Each structure stands twice: as C-alpha cells, then as structure tokens.
Structure 1
Amino acid sequence: MSEATLLSKVTMLASGTWPFLLVSLLFLSLHHGPSHGFTLKNCTIAYSENNSDVSVSCRQHGISAIPDDIPRNAASLDLGSNQILAITRTDLRGLSKLRTAQVEYNFISHIDDGAFADLGELNSLFLDENRLRNLTDNMFLGLSRLVFLSLCTNQISFVSPGAFQPLVSIQWVELGSNQLHQITDIAPILKFPFLTYLGIGYNKFTSFQSDDLPLNISNIKMLELSMNPLRTFSITKDIFPHLKSLDFSKCSYDIDWNVPNKTFLSSLTSLALSGCYISFETYSAMLQTAASLQQLSLLFMEKFIDDGLIDVACQTPSLRSLDAILNKIGFVDDNLLWSCSQLNELKLSHNDLSGMSEHALQNTRQLKLLNLESNQLKKVPLAVRGLARLESLNLHANFISELSCLDFQNLTSITALNLKRNLMSSLQECVFQNLNNLKELDIGENIFCTIESSLKGSLQKLETLNMHNNRFLQLMQGTFQNLLSLSSLDLESDSYYNVYGGTFEGLDHLKTLSLSLSVYEKATFRGLQHLETLSLHLTFNWKPNSLQQNFEPSFSDLVNLKTLVLKTYDTYSADVSPDLLSGLKSLESFKTEKFFTRSLHPDTFKYTPQLRRLEIIQSGLTHLAPEVFWPIPNLKELDLSNNKLSSLDFLSRANLPKLRWLKLSNNELSIINETTFQSLPALTYLDLSDNPLTCECSNSGFNQWILNNNQTQVVNGHQYPCAFPVSQKGNMFLDFDVRLCWVDSSFLCFVSSSCLVMLTLLASFVYHFLRLHIIYTYYLLLAFLYDKTRSKKGTPDSYDAFVSYNIHDEAWVCSELLPILEGQQGWKLCLHHRDFVPGKPIIENITEAIYSCRKTICVISRHYLQSEWCSREIQMASFRLFDEHKDVLIMLFLEDIPVQQLSPYHQMRGLVKRCTYLSWPQATQHSGVFWQNVERALGAAESPTDNSLLRV
C-alpha cells in the first residue's frame, strides 16, 4: 500500500471524529526521510576515548563504490580490501579534515581529475594493489599537504609530466611493482625539495643514468631500485648529494656500474644488495664507490660471500653494520669476518649456521649487537666470549639445550639477551652471574622446569624477564628476590604450576606480571604493592572441597593494581565469591575469559569504584542483575561478547551514566527494547553483531533507533541479518519496513482505543445531561404508534378521565376525588390500581389508559415528581396534548410547589408555563368552587383554549 493511499484512508477515517492534527502527526511519522544517523551502512567509526580524531574503517565490506555517508569530520579513512572500481569527483567531497586515506587492495582503474580536491589536509594516501594505468595531470589536485603517497603494485606505465605538480609537500613516494620503463617518468618527483624516499623497485627500468634526468640536483635521501632489469647505472654528475640509502637487491642482469667520482655518492651510508646476475667485480665496484658506507645488507649472496665479498665490504673504513641474512652460511671460520674490525652490528640471522670457529669474531671486538637468530646452533659459540663490548645478543630460535657458566662470563656490558625458543631445560646458578648490566632477558618457549638457582646471580639491573610458555612445576619462595629492578615478568604458560607464598617478595618495582596458576597460597602476591598489571591463566581441575579452599587468589595486597586479567581455558562451574576483588580500590580494567560461568553476585564490584573497563567474555552468562553494576558508575567500556544473554533489561537499571563502549556480539539477543539505551546517555559505540535478531514489529522501535539516533554508532548495523521469522531469512535487519507495523498495529490500536474513549465519554455525557430527553422521546414514540393504531381502528373513549397519581396520594384520591367526581358528578374514571389489566406490561396499560380516556387528570405532589411511572404518564399525556392539539390534560397540584423547584423536571416546568392548572391548597376554604372547576374542565370541549381552567 502506498503512503498516499494510506493517508487517504486515514483521512476518511478521521474526518468524522478526529481533528486535522491526527492526520498531520501520522504523516510526520511515516515521512521520516532519509537517515542521517550515526550508524554507517558500509563502514565503522573506530572507538576513541577522547573522540579527538574520527577514524572510519570500511575494510573488507565488499563495496564497489565509496560510500556516501562517511562523516565529514573523518580524519582517517580505510577503504582497503574491497571491490571499488573508480574514484569519482564527488566520492570524497566534503572530507576536508581527512589526513589518512587507505584505498589499497581494490580494482580501481580510474580516478577523476580533482577527485581529491577537497582533501586539503590529507597527509598520507595509499593506493597500492589496484589497476591504475595512468597518472594524469590533475589526478592529485588539491593535495598540497600530502607527505606520503604509495602506488605500489598497480599497472602504471605512463606518468603525465604534471601529475605530481600539486604535491608540493611530498616526502615519500612508493611506485614499486608497476610497468614504468623510462627514468624520465619519475624525473618530476626527484625535483621536489622535501622528497626523502622514492621506491621504484620491480618496474621495467633498464637504465638509470643521471644524463637522462633533466635536473641539476635532487634532495632525495633514499632510493629503492630492487627487482628491475637494470643494465646500466650511471651517475656522472653530482645530482644526488644527499642520497643516504640505495637498494639494489634482486637484480636480473649484470649492471654496467658507472660512478667515476666517489664524491657523487659521498653521502651514501646504507646499501642493500642481494643475489643477482651481477658479477663479483660489479659488486666490488659498488662497494668501492660507497666510500662513506655505514650499513650493508647482503641477502641471498651465498656464492659471493664464499668468494670474499664480505672481506671487500669491510675494506670500507666507515662500515659499522653488516646484515648477512638468508645466505645459507653454515659455518663462520676465522677468515670470514677477519677484515671487519670496525663493525658495531652484525646480523647473521636466518642462515644455516651450526657453529663458529673459536676465533671467528676475534677481530670484531667492537661489536655491540650480534644477531644469530633462526639458525641451527646447539650451543653458544665460543667466539662470543671475547665480545666484551657486546650490548645485545640474539640467539632466538636455535637448538641450544644447555648453557655453560663460561658462555656469558665476559659479556659484562650486555643489556639485552634473547634465548627464546631453544631447548633449555635448566640453568645453572652461575650462568648469569657476571651480567651486572643486563636489563632484558628472554628465555621464553624453552622447557624449563625450575629456575630458582639461576636467578640468584647479580641481575640487579634486570627490568624485563620473559619466561613465557615453559614447563614449570612450581615457583618457590625467594625465586626472584634478587631482581630488585624488575618491572615486567612474564610467567604465563600453557601448563600450570604451583606458586607458593613469598615467591615474589623483593620485587618492589614490579609493575607487570603474568602467571599460570594451579595451586597458590594466600600470600602469593605479598610484596607486590607497586604492581599495576596482573594477568592470570587459571585452571580449576580439582575436587570441589579443595576448590572451595583454593578457588580464588587474594588480591588484598595489590593496592595499586590497575589492570587484572583472569583467563580460564578449562571447563568448570563454580560460584565466584563476592569478595574476589577485595582490596583492589585502584583497579581500572578487569578482563575475564571463561571465568564467570554463573551469574555474578551483586557485590562483585563493590571494592572497585574506579573501574573503567570491564570484559566478561566466553562465560556462558544467560542473565545479569542490574545491581552488579551499581558500585561502578564510572564504567566507560563493557564487553559481554560470546555469552548467552537473551535480554538487556539489566542495562536499564544498571546506572552506567559514563558508559561509552558496549560490545554484545555473539549472544542470543533476538528482541531488543530501544529504551534500554536511553538509560546510557554517554553511549557512542555499540556492537551487536552475530545475534539472532527478529525482523518483526516487536523490534520496530530498535530498528528506528539504530537509523535515527545521532549519538550511538551501531557497528556494522546495516550488515545485521534477520534470523527470525523464517520468511525474513536472507534479509537485513535494517531493511525491514517498520511502517507496516505502525499502520497495521500501532496506529489501528491507537484509532480504536481513541474511538472507544470518545464513545465512552459521549455516552456518559448523554446519560448525564440528556437521559430524560431520550426517555421522553422513547415514550413519545410509543404513544405515537399507539395513537395511530387506535385512530385506524376508530376505538371510542372508554372513560371520561384517567387519574394519574402517586401511591402516597392514593388516600386523597379515594377519599376526596372519587366521591365527588364519580359519586356526585357521575364521571367514569380510570385508576391504575382498579382498572389496569393484570399481567399486561405497565407501559402498555398506561398508554392504553391515556388514549382510551377523554381527559387525563394528573394529581401532582412532590412524591409525584419523584416517581418514575408518574413521570412517564404525564410525558405520554403531554405528547397527546401536543400531538392531537386537544385540551386533554388537567393538572391538580396537591401542594404548593414553586416554579424554581420544578427546574430539574423539565417537562413539568414547561407544562406549568404553558397550561392552566388547579391548586388544592388554595381551595381549602372554597372546595366547592374547586370541584366545580374540575367538573367544568372534564365537561369542556376537547379543543384547546387559551384559558380553559381557573386557578382557585
């Protein structure tokens, strides 16, 4: 049904009983117009605590065009990994505050000239992994503040001479993996005064010659030429005086290297070479040209290293760093590094290194950093012992199973030692005894069972200790007591171990601790008064009786703890004590996983009034009491994802006025009341993904709230599918047309109830004010019908008069009226107690008596006025009076009743005003005259007269 048809029907319905306002309100409710809500159709606004920058992500949403509802105040926009085909001139219009735009991994083959014209504040633009072929003159128009531009992995083969002209602030340009083949294409870029980096690797360049570049000087500092089929590299003039880094890795052909003057590359400090078809002589020429070289990277150069390339490189006096990575070096002999006495950094990682000669590093005693990561070493090489100046040693990912007391004996200057991912199961007490300056120690992912004795050396300056994922059985008291400077300790593991009281005593400066607990004592965390972050990986595989004794660790000593993480990977079910968080008055963040498997006690957070972030995930919670949140009114972030919540009613009374971030994904929410979120005035981020939402009228309010609220972003709200009913499956929740709900149910209920109310009011009004008139009309109708029937039959009058009186006045009628009128004057009278037909309805007797008599005598008193039947009798007689226009009514007043007292009796008051009546109280002294007047009235002609009766 169209809105026009609907409105016409509503107007017809309302025309008789409703004002125009009703139709107007309905029109407004139907015409809500396009949504300008905070929920974006294809994007998400990243949550930010201070909301200073608006970051929008549309990544991996399957969109084929840039959405038109991107907020105009967006500072960052991610459109990566979609199916966008082009960027038009209007797509990014109005985004004047945008500073970063990521549009990589799409199918963009065309960009309109001026498409970025409104992006005057844009700093970084990523267009990698698209299908661009040409860069036109006005493509980047308006990007005067752009600093970083990446066009890597497109199909660019042509660059217009003026394409980069608007980029007056550009510093970093990446054009790698394209189809560029002429060095003149990138010449305009080299002219920019602030250019720092130019990446043109993996293109089709066969020649790089300064003579082909129409410029006198370039300020470029880094040039990347890897993976080009270069055959000629010629610098015959000093156009790169500031060039510091040159990447020649992975060349395809031998190169004609022509740099006749070493001063042309006098600023070159970093050079990257890799396995190519270049000759040894060419490599030697390159190295000899770079007289100021400080850092050299050699990748996939096994053949040339065997031929002595490292020796040639180390002939450069300025060389300080050598990276010989991925070269399949199996053994370092005495000669390989003999000439490298000046080196400060040596990286031999990711080789097949299984050993070194004892004197392999004899001439590299200046080394401060040695990286032997990802090799096949089974022990620490003896050659390392002589590196007294070594500050960082990386032996990560080898096969070292044992450490000797002499391995690090002379490394007194070392500050960082990485032994992660080896095969060590124990450490002798003497291993680290001379490492007085060690600050970082990583021995994670080994197979240690105990470490008590190994940490009793002189590690008093150690700040970070990583023992993640080992096989500890227990941690005893005093294990870490000598680590006086330790601030971060990671003991988390996939296996569990016992931690006894006093284990962490002496760690007065520890701020971060990760543990995997099986059994602990009450004093486990004693001495950690400065701890700020605690992560516990818990297990509950014990009997119920021990569970009650050891279930919860005591945190009462952690008065400065700000972050607590409780993770449980076992299946268990237990009640958590309301005193779990006792003593944590400074706690700001509490994260749990599979921990609260039953409903939380209302007092769970009564000890943590400063809590800002709360995460209870994967716990199977079915409901929560609002009282749980009352002690933490400062909560800003709440994550209840991966539970079984079916209702959010608890949020309505949770008292969370500062809550801004709420995640409820992967629960069992099907019907959501939008009023729930009205109790969260600060809410700006809401995630309800992966819930079985119902697309029926019961959710219409929530549907409209998502579309129309301007504060809370419902993350990916337009991608929520309908789970119920079955007929709606495959549709989207926000596509459900709620207008049908308003018309078919809500509106009709409103109209029906309103009509009922109006009818009730009308009936009450009629009953209160018009009741007598309705009754009068009813009896008039009966009299009219009877009169017509009687007239047709020609029935003669049976009585001279019908006497209408109240039972209270019957004595007067029988003692005064009857003897005179019937006994003396001879009139034939009809009295209801004497002449009504028994068994006949009263109303029929009254009607027949009035119409079968010539006259009707009404004996009126106060009792008469209050009688229902008397009222009907006089109403019927008065109708006959007015209908037949005959003088048929005689009124005898037994009491003096003022006219104002007749006001409630509208009919009687009208008759008194129009007709002459007889008064018995005024005839007490002249009763004969009274009865003569009655006789005269009974005998008078039936034609009405103006004054047929006289007042006595």
Structure 2
Amino acid sequence: MIYRIVIVIPLLLFYIEGIEFPHCIWQRAQCRKIKCADVDETILNTQLEQFWSKPPPKTINTTNDCYILEIVRSKLPKLEKINTDSRYECEEIRLSSLEITFVNEDVFANFKKLNRLYLDGNSLSSVRFGKGLDNLEKLFLQDNQLEDTPPSDVPNMPNLKTLNLDKNKLSSIDGLICNLTSLENLSVKYNRLTALGSCLKFNRNLKNLALSDNGINSITKDAFDNLTSLQIIDLDHNNISIIEKGAFDKLISLETLTLQYNRLVNLEDGTFDGLTRLQHLFLAHNLIKSFEPGIFRNLANVLDISLRNNSISSLKTDTFRGLESVMVLELDLMFIKVIEPRAFAGLRRLRILSLYGCSITEIRPNAFDDLTSTVVLYLDANQFQLVPDMFMGLNKLSDIKLMLNTFEVLPTNGFNGLSELRELELQNLGIKRMALGAFTGLNELRYLNLSNNLLENIKDDCLSGMPNLQILDLSNNRIKLILGNAFYELHGVYQIELGGNSLPRIIGHTFDGLRNVTKLNLSSQNITEIVRNAFDGLERIQTLSLNKNKIGTLSNGSFAGLTNLANLDLSDNEIKTLPEGVFWDASIVSLNLSNSGLEVIEPNAFGGLNMLKSIDIGKNHVSGLKNGTFNGLSSLSSLDLRNMGIETIETGAFNGLDSLKRLFLKDNPLSQLKAGSFVGLTNLTVLILPDGLTSIEPRTFEGLSKVAVTITVVNANLTTLEEDTFSGLTKVLFIIFRNTTIGTIKANGFRGSNKLAGVTFSNCAINKMESKAFSDMGNVAFIANENFRKCSNKQVILRNGHYTFCQMGVNKIEVGAFQDIHLHTERDLRGLPELELNLNGNYLTTIYTDNFIGMEHIEELSISDNQLTTINENAFSTLTALKRLNLSNNWISNLNNAFTKLDKLHQLDLDNNNISFLPPDLFEPLKELHRLKLRNNYLTELAVGNFPNIPLKILDLGNNNISDIENGVFDQIRTLDTLNMSYNSLEDFNIRILSPLQKLKMFHIASNNLREFDSLLLVDTLPKLRSIDINDNMIPCDELPHILTVFKTHSLEYVRTESGVLGNFDGVKCVPNESPQMLNAANYKNMLRNINEKLGVITDYFKKARSTSEKPFEARSEVIQSKIDGLYKTLQTAAGRNDSVSAFQIILILVCVVICIVQLISVYKKCRNTQHS
C-alpha cells in the first residue's frame, strides 16, 4: 500500500501543478506576505476568514511585524469587502490587474497601517475613498479608465507622497489632487489633459511632476505657483505653444525641465528667469525659430541642453550667454545657414557640441571663440566649405566629425587651431585638391583618413604640418602622381595606404621622408614597372603590397636596400619572367607571387632570399620545375605551387630547400611523379599532391622521412601501384585515395610505410590485387571505404579491425595479397572489436586455395554480390578465427572441401547461388556452426550426411526445388531451433523425419505442394514447437479447420496472411473446394462420446465428494455439469438432424468444453483437498 502511495503522490503533483484552484498562502519576504490566487470576492473573504484563524508557519519570519496582502490571477469586478484580522495589519495591498470596476469607499477603512496601495491595471472609471487612509504614502492607479473625479471623492490623505495616474482618461486632475497637500511625486502621463488646472498650487511639497503625452496647449503664469520644492517637470509630447512670461519664476528648486515634442515657436525674453538651479534643459523637437541673445541668462548651472530639430536659421553672437556651466549642447537637425562670430560665447566649459544635419553653409571667423574646453565637435551632413582658420578657438578638440559633407578643396590653414586633434577622418568628402599648408597646426594628429575622395596628385609639402602623424590613408582616390617631396615631413608615419589609385609607376625619391614607414600598400594601381631604387628612403619598410597592378617586369635590384622588408605581395600582376637577382639584398620573409603571370623562373631568381620562410607561386603558368629553381631559399618553410600549370618536375628541382616543411602541388596538370622528384626535402612534414595522377614511380617519396599524418591521392587513374610506391614515407599514418582508379596493386606496393595505421578509399576502384599487394603493413588497423553503408548494415564506417573493399570493382585477389598484415595477433585482440574483411559488391569470380593468407585473425568475411562461380578446396583454410562467412548473391555451384579448418565458424550464408548438390561431409569441419542459410538455390533433394553432427540452430532451405528428403537427414542436428523449407516442391512430407528435432520451435513449410498434413502427428512428434507456417500448399480448405484446431488446442501459433485472398481460412491460404460442403460431424460424435465418458468419471468423484463432505462446492459443480450437458445435446441434435454441423459451431463448442473441463477439474481438486482435511 505504501509503495502505491509513493507512486501516486508524484503523479498527482504533476497533474495538479497546472490546475488553478482558489487558495491563500503565506510567503517569505522582507515583510510577511499573504498571497491569494484564483479567487472571487466571496471565495476571497471565505479563504481569508479561514486563513486568519491559522498562525503563520514557522518558516515565516515573525520578528518583523509588517504584512503584505497580494491577490493575483483573479477577477474581482466589485470589491465590497476584504476580511481583516487585527493581528495582521497590512502595510501594502496589491490588487493589480484584477478587472476591478468598483471599489467600496470603506473597503480599506480597517487597514489602519496601510502605506502602499496598488490598484493599477484594472477597469476603474472612478474612485471614491472614505476615511481611514491617513497612513497611505503611495497610491498606484495607472492603467485604468479613470475620468474626472470630484474633490469630495478623494479626501485629505495627509501622508500621501506618491500618486501614479498614468494611462487613464483624465481631462482634469483637480478633483484628485486638491486635497493631497503632502504629495511629492505625481505622474499623469498618457491622459487627456489640456490644461494644468488650478490645484497644483496646493501641492507645495511636490518634487517630481510627469505630465508627458497629454494635450496641454499652454503654461499660464500662475501654473506652478507655490511649487517651490519642484525638482523635475516632464512635459514632453504635448501641444504646448505658449509659455507665459513668469511661468517658471517660482520654481526655485527645479533641476530638470523637459519640453520636447511640443509646438513652441517663440520663447519670450525672461522665460527661464528664476530657474537658477536648473541643470538639464530639453527643448528639442519644437518649432522655435530663434533664440535671442539673453534668453538663457541666469541659467548658470545648466549642464546639458538639447535644442535639436527646431526651426533655427542662424546662431547669433551671444546666443548662449548665461550658460557658463553647460557641458553638452545639442543643436542637430536645425536649419542653421550661418554661424555668426562668437555664436558660442560664454560656453567655456562646453565639452561636446553637436551640429549634425543643420544645413550649415557658412561658418564665419571666430564662430568657435570661447570653446576652450570642447573636445568633440559634430559637423556631419552640412553644406559649408572649409576656410582658413575657421576652427580657431577649439584648442582642446580631440575628435571632429565631418562626414557627409562635400569639400572640393582643403584650404591653407583649413584645420589651424586644432592643435590637440588626434584623429581626422575626411573620407568620402569629394576632395579634389589639398592646398599647401592645409594641415598646418595639427601638431598632435596621429591618424589622417583621406580615402575615397577625388585626389589626382600629391604635391610637394601639401601634407606638412603634422609632425606626429602615424597612419595616413590615401586609398581609393584617383592619384596618378606623387611628387618627390610630398611626404618629406612625415617622419613619424609608420603606415601608408595608397591602394586603389592610378599610379602608373614608382619613380625614385617618391617616398623620401618616410624613414619610419613599416607598412606600405600600393595595391590596385596601374603600376607597370618597378625601377631600380624606386623605394629609396623606406629603410624600415616591413610589409609592401604591390598586388593587383600591371607590373610586367622586375629589374635586377628592384628591392635593393630594403633590408627590413619581411612581407612582399606581388600577386595578380603580369610578370612573365622572374629574372636572376631581382630580390638580391632583400630580407623578405613572406613572398606572394600568385596569379602574377609567371611563365619562366630563371635560375637563381630567388638568390639572396636566404631569410624567406613562405612563398606562394600558385595560379601561374610555369610548365616545368627545373633543377636549381629554388636555389637560395635555404630558410623556406612553406612553398605554395597550387594551380601553377606544372607538368614536369626535374630531379633536383627542390634542391636547397633543406628547411621546407609544407609543399602544396594541388591543381596542377602534373600527371606523373618520377623517382627523385622530391630529393632534398628532408624536413618536409606536409605534402599536398596534385590531382589527376596517372603514374607514381617506385621510390618517388624516398627521403620524405618526416612527412607525417596523411598522404592524399585525388582523382588519379593509376594503371599500377608499383612496388615501393610509398617507400620512404616512414612516418605517414594514413594514406587516402579519393575518386581514384587503380588497375593493379603490385607486390609490396605499400612497402616502406612502416608506421602506416590506415588506408581510406572514397569512390575508388581496384581491378586486381597481386600477391603481397598489402605486405609490410603490419601496423595497419583498418582499410576503410566510404561506400561502407551501401554494402553493410553496420553503422560504423571507420573502426579498427575493419578492412573494407566493398563496391570497388575488384576482379581478382591473388593468393597472399594480404600477406604480412600482422597487427592483430592473439595478444592484440583482447578488448578490440571483431575483425572483418568486406569484399561485397565486386566482380570476383574465384576464391583460390588459401586466398586469405595474412588475414588469419579476421572474424567476419563477406563476399556477397560478386560473380563467384568457384570456391577452390581449402579456400578459407587459413581463417581459423572466422565466425561469420557471407557468400550470398553469387553464382557458386561447387563447394567441395571449401570449408576445411573453419572450426570456429558460427554463421554461413550461401543464399542466392547456383548450388544444386551438397557434397557429403561438406559441413563436417564446421564444428561450431549455428546458422546455415541456403535459400534461393537449386537443391532438389536432401540426403543423409548433408548435415553432420554440428550444433546447428537455424537452417534455412527456403526457395529451392527440394522434392525428396531421405529418412534420417536431420538425425545429427538435434540442436536445431528453426527450420525453413518454404517455397520448395514437396508433395509428400513424412513428419516423422523431424522426430530427432526435439528442440525445434519454428517450422516453415509454406508454398509447397502438400495435399495433406497430419497435424496431430506433428504436435506429438515436436512437443516444443511454437510456430508453424503451412500457407499456400495444396491442402483443401475443408480440411484446414481440423488442422488449425489441433494447432490451437496445443498452443501452436500459425502464420496468417491476408484474409481477403480466395482460398483462405482464418488467415491461412488453402485450396478452395469446387462446391461448398458442410463438415462431417461423425468424427466429432465419437470425440464427444469419449469426452462424455471422461466427464462421467469426474461426476462419480463429485458424487463421492458430496456424500462425504459438507458440500461447499455442490452448487458450482451442478452448474458446470448442466452447461456441459447442454453443449453435448446441441452437438448431438445438429449431427443427428443432417449428420453435419458448421466448422465454426464445432470450434466454439470444443473450446467451451475445454473451459468447462478445466473448471470441473479445479472444483474436483478443491473437493478432494477438503475431504482429506
């Protein structure tokens, strides 16, 4: 019982979790909380009444005497009453989102200590509060439907400090606030107010007033009278167009005033008088046309002011006089055409000035006077032109934004005065010309971006005036000419970007003055030649990019003197010949010559590059690599020759590359790899071969003793894999073939790869494997094939111990092909998965004697779906560990002595072959064979000796032509569990032949020509039989019911087919009678008489029991006896009337008789036990 409760309780909790039911509970919080859920008013008060009678649980803190009441997930349309308990006086009540439409004025009268009341998110259209809320400090009524309320409905709440009325329908607040003289925080946002009303003046303690998102249209002179404590006013998003003079005079404590998104047009002089403590003023998004000088007087404490998106057309002198403390001034999105001199006078503390998108056309001299503290200036998206000295006064500016302007000319002294500027971004400004001295005064400038303009030349000294410049970006202009002294004063520059211009050539002294440049980008130009000494003056250059030009020739000494040059990019040019000595006296570490049009590499072309580590020569047209091509590259570690057009590699081509570690030859038309191709690459670790190889000569890889991990052969068509093809690759672990055809793997083809651990084939074909084809592969743990899933039901593709050649077009495997694969010794096998050789789906025709020498330890061999016709004697004799052998789907007809020495074989599959005769003792060597499959062959008879004394459990002989079975054929396979002889030609079947098979549980003999079947003899002969299939024989349908009845009474399951087939009884196919006949009942009369005699004996026992006991079972036995008599008479009457009954009647009656007999025997046993006791 306890066990059941343990199981049921979690189930109940699982289902109850999502169910809502009324309840009130205690919750732990800073104050003790009573939380009620899913209640209405009646249930609420009932729950509370019960709730107050119980003390808080011990887990609830009782040292603090404050309480909170919260109701959630409920509907309380009318709140008339809340039951209370004097012991638990709540300080906070939360009634949010309960669909309340009415609150009784006295509902909170008993909550004497109520401090916070939440009625937000309901549907109240009016409220009326009675007495008793003297201690209330916070009242939340937002998100209701409140309309105007008379003052009499809201009595004086002497301690109320916070009132939230947001998102209602109020057009006036007078009725709600007239009596609330202690109010400090009032929020009436998102309502329908059009005026401030007359009651605000009574709220002398008000500090925060939020009235945004209403329809207020004016602020009267006396609107804020008496509000001397007010600190924040939010009037955003109204319709205010008039502020009467003096409206803010009494707001002596105001710190923040927001009037954004209104309709203000004019601000009268003195509007902000009295706001001596104001710090934040927001007037953005109005219609103000001008700010007259003096409008901001007396605002000495304002720190940030936003005036953006008004209708100002000019900034006059002294406009901002009075804002001595302002630090942020936003003037964006105005229509300012002109900034007058001293427009920002008095703003000595201003740090950020924003004039974005103001359509400014003119900034007059001295406009920025007094901005001595400004560090950021936004002038983006305007229409002015730079003029000399226009930024004077901005001595501390460190960041200026000028994007989305158009400056055709940078004038002399255009940036004078910006002595602290660190970065200057002038990209995309349409600049065509830079005047001499344009950057004078930019003493601290570090980064200058002039990219994406229209500059055509760089003249002498036009970039002077920037002594500390470090990065110069002139990319993507139209520069055709750089004069000799253009960079003369840029001694501190370390990076210059000149890519994407139109320079036709580089002449001497172009880069004079750039003695500290380490990175120079000259990509994407029209440069056609590099003259000697072109880069004079670039003593410290480390990275030089000349890619994407039209360079046709490189002169001897083009890079002479560049002793620090480490990275040189000459890719995507038109160089045809790489001459000798072109890189002489250069310390290049990385060289890129890819897609540079190379056709000829002269001897010693790389002379002098003894520091070079990496070179990319891919995507060129060099057809042959000659001896000595790479002389001088003694430090080279990576050589990329991909897609270079290489057709031949001479012996010694890589001489001198003693340090090379990575060589890439992919995508070349190199079809043959000759012996000695890689001589000299003694330290190579990565080798990427070309696609499409047709020949790899023996010892091609000799000397590559450090190449590790993998060698990949792709898209190759190798006529032969010669002896010692991979010799020399002593550290390679894996060889991978992809999309490759191999005609013949010769003996010792993989010899010399001493550490080879695996070979992988992907979409490959092998025609022939010669003897010793896989010799010297003692460490190989697998040979994998990505077609594995197509020819095996196993889920694993790569696993140690699997050798897979399925669907690879193999025609012949010579004896000894796998010789010397010795990894898997008896000791090695412990703990490893079973070993397998898979040859499915090939074109093998013959398995030769001792064909699999070397594979002694494999446990599974599968050669299905080939074209095997011959299995020679002793073909598998070396496979002494073999457990499973699959030879299905072939053309095998002769199997003489094929399975000798396979004494550990468990499974043998010979399905779908041409076997018509089983030689005597064929299976004699198979001492542990458990499963034998011979389906779909041409056997016609089974003879004694076909199945010797082996522990066979499953024998499948289906779909042959067997018509004759000799007596004694099964005598020696007494362990058989399953026998299938369906789809043969048996006409007569002697069931006694099966008598030795006393362990047989499943017997299928469907689809033969049997005309009769002795079911009683079968069940007597095979007592353990549990399943039988006799479908689709020649058994007449009128005899089948008797057979099936015997099966049923002996608990023998029979296989059923579709019941809709013509000639079918209870799902078993049979031969229909020519004319319907009723079953003869004579036999059943005799059977019933025998049953009656046995019942008579039982009845006698009952009579004896009745006479000697207290007759406790008499009534039950008489009922059973009555039922049996009735069934007997029914059968007798039917049989006597027409000497026949229906089969269905007979089956039903017999079943009922059996049930009754069982019950009688049970009653009899109980009677006998009672009598004995």
Q: TM-score, normalised by structure 2?
A: 0.33
| Structure with higher RCO (Cα < 8 A, 6+ apart) | 1
**Which structure shows the higher helix fraction?**
1
